[in-house]
């Protein structure tokens, strides 16, 4: 920021200074030239031709410097075939007129014919009455005063623009320092968080950085939530594996003759626990990748085809919105629907209804899975989502299906509820998932 500010301030000051210098110098030179032209006009109006055909002045010019030798202001009238008629201030010198040309309008130029005395000269060619000679009227003035004024102007410009540039740079530095001070305060607040162990930025900060602070706090909250989820996840997995490992250890210590069957049963339980936690971990990772989309109808059809092969005597019906799209990965949606539909077929009486409801004005897609089984008592509907909870222990299972459904659905911001089916009389599972945008 400072380098860019210095560059642009320098460029603009140099450009502006050059333009202002040329303008002021041109104004001073024009004013100087106007004075010379005024004297030249007075000289022309005072000139006449005498009886011998030479030019003379019938009245002298008012500036006494033309009468003082080497005064720095001079005039001279020249004509072809006539001797130059100079002012007394030229004394024993004469002006050397530029070239052999005709200047019907005033012609200004600089001359260095007098050593140590540069001149500013204006020439004009005029034909006087009663004469056929073209007379050149030249008025000259030493440039000393003009050059002094120009040098003074340039000196003032240089010092003024240098002071202006320094002031602008100082202002830019102060503005940058003050403007970036909120970010330094944010940095200090983050440093204080690390040193003091706090988990949020609570220091009052300017409005300009409040959105940044809010995003940082949101990121911290998200990270904290993920860390807590990871701790809970690790703790749950350790707790789930602890009991089977204890059973196996005790059986091995006691030399249980049924150790092989026990190992087979407990390792399957541990494998199911591991699959549950891996599924949850995969869901978290896929959610973090963002913009998940899955079509509900093809997923439900795919699950029904697989479950039908296992429960051939069960009647499955699928109805509802065929175009519903939810904000969830297809693999996770398949696992959720697979657990729910398989449970309905396993514990139902032979009929399973799956209905998809996704209205256009709603932000959620609701999926109903109903069966004609014995259902679940209202008092048990909360406990049944716990890992390992089972009401019917006569059928194979680990009690992790609904726990997996609850955890994965919660990761995507959905919900799952249990109720009684009005049509079939068994269990009704109401699955709510967020609809995909667009």
Class of the CATH-defined domain 2-149: alpha beta
- We find that the CATH architecture of domain 294-434 is 2-Layer Sandwich (3.30)
- Residue 399, pLDDT score: 43
Assign residue 50 a region: left if phi > 0, alpha if psi is -120 to 50, beta otherwise? beta
- Token pair listed for 387: 């890992």
CB atoms within 10 A of CB 122: 24
- Residue 286, pLDDT score: 55
Residues in a beta bridge with 49? 55
- Residue 18, pLDDT score: 92
- Residue 20, pLDDT score: 93
- Token pair listed for 429: 């599972």
Helix (H) or strand (E) holding 331: helix 330-347
- Residue 393, pLDDT score: 43
Residues in a beta bridge with 354? 318, 369
Per-10-residue mean pLDDT, the chain, length 438 = 87 92 93 92 90 85 87 90 89 79 84 90 89 89 90 92 91 85 81 75 76 82 76 68 76 78 77 68 57 86 89 90 88 87 88 84 86 86 64 44 80 88 89 84
Residues in a beta bridge with 121? 109, 140
Residues in a beta bridge with 107? 123
| Residue ranges per structural domain of the chain | 2-149, 212-289, 294-434
Sorted by sequence, the CB contacts under 8 Å of residue 112 that are 6+ apart come out as: 118, 119
Q: Residues 236, 387: contact at Cβ < 8 Å?
A: yes
- Residue 366, pLDDT score: 92
Q: SS3 for 163?
A: helix
- Residue 179, pLDDT score: 80
Q: Residues 382, 408: contact at Cβ < 8 Å?
A: no
Q: SS3 for 321?
A: coil
Q: Residues 185, 205: contact at Cβ < 8 Å?
A: yes
- Token pair listed for 258: 């049924």
Residues in a beta bridge with 136? 78, 125
Alpha carbon separation from 198 to 72, 195, 209, 218, 378 (Å, rounded): 85, 8, 20, 14, 43
Alpha carbon 238 to its chain's center: 46
Look at the alpha carbons of 417, 420, 423, 426 in this order and tell me if their dihedral is positive or negative.
Answer: positive
- Residue 239, pLDDT score: 64
- Residue 394, pLDDT score: 42
Query: Beta 294-295 vs 325-326: how paired, if at all?
Result: antiparallel
Q: Residues 394, 387: contact at Cβ < 8 Å?
A: no
Distance (Å, whole) CA 10 – CA 14: 6
């Amino acid at each position: 920021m400072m380098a860019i500010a210095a560059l642009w301030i320098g460029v603009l000051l140099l450009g502006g200074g050059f333009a202002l210098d040329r303008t002021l110098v041109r104004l001073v030179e024009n004013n100087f030239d106007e004075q010379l032209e005024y004297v030249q006009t007075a000289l022309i109006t005072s000139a006449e031709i005498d009886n011998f055909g030479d030019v003379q002045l019938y009245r002298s010019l008012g500036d006494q410097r033309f009468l003082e030798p080497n005064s720095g202001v001079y005039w001279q009238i020249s004509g072809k075939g006539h001797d130059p008629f100079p002012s007394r201030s030229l004394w024993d010198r004469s002006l050397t007129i530029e070239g052999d040309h005709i200047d019907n309008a005033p012609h200004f130029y600089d001359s260095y014919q007098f050593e140590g005395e540069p001149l500013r000269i204006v020439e004009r060619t005029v034909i006087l009455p009663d004469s056929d000679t073209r007379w050149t009227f030249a008025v000259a003035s030493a440039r000393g005063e003009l050059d002094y004024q120009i040098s003074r102007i340039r000196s003032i410009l240089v010092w003024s623009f240098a002071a202006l540039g320094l002031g602008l740079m100082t202002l830019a530095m102060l503005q940058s320092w003050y403007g970036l001070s909120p970010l330094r305060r944010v940095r200090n607040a983050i440093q204080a968080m690390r040193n003091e162990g706090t988990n949020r930025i609570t220091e009052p900060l300017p409005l300009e950085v409040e959105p940044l602070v809010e995003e940082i706090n949101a990121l911290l909250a998200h990270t904290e939530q993920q860390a807590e989820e990871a701790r809970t996840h690790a703790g749950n997995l350790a707790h789930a594996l602890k009991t089977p490992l204890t059973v196996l250890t005790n059986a091995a210590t006691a030399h249980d003759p049924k150790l092989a069957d026990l190992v087979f049963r407990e390792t399957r339980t541990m494998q199911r626990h591991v699959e549950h936690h891996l599924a949850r971990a995969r869901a978290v990772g896929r959610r973090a990748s963002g913009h998940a989309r899955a079509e509900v109808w093809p997923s439900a059809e795919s699950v029904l085809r697989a479950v039908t092969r296992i429960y051939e005597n069960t009647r499955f019906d699928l109805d509802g919105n065929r175009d519903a799209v939810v904000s969830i990965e297809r693999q996770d949606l398949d696992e959720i629907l697979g657990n729910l539909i398989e449970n309905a077929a396993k514990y139902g009486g032979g009929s399973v209804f799956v209905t998809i409801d996704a209205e256009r004005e709603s932000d959620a897609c609701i999926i109903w899975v109903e069966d004609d089984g014995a259902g679940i008592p209202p008092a048990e509907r909360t406990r049944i989502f716990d890992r390992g909870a089972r009401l019917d222990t006569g059928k194979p299972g680990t009690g992790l299906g609904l726990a997996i459904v609850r955890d994965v659905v919660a990761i995507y911001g959905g919900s799952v509820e249990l109720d009684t089916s009005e049509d079939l009389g068994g269990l009704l599972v109401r699955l709510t998932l967020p609809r995909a945008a667009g």
